[in-house]
Amino acid sequence: MLLGKGGPGGLLLAGLAAFAYYKYNKMSPQQRTDMVNNLKEKGKKIFGQFMPGQQQTASANTATGQHYGEGNQYTG
């Protein structure tokens, strides 16, 4: 495991995180937007492959302004 007993995996993971942070900060705002949009599209594609029926329901709720956990049925 990477972080099992404090071996070189923890240092490797910290170095990878620092490098990713550095590269993200050096990106232009347009590159950041493109990266985020690309990740969203990939996420939607993967979600659609594993949960095809749920994708339509989730997008329909967001389009109508109803978000998860919000609504008039809450009686708490």
Contact by Cβ (8 Å): 35, 27: yes
Q: What is the pLDDT of residues 23-52, one digit of tens each?
A: 999 999 999 999 999 999 999 999 988 887
Per the listing, tokens 């389009």 go with 63
Rounded Cα distance, 60 and 66, in Å: 9
Contact by Cβ (8 Å): 26, 18: no
In this predicted model, which residue has the larger pLDDT, 53 or 2? 53
0.75 exceeded by pTM:
no
Contact by Cβ (8 Å): 24, 33: no
Q: What is the pLDDT of residues 58-67, one digit of tens each?
A: 555 555 565 5
CA angle 75, 65, 29 (to 5 degrees): 125
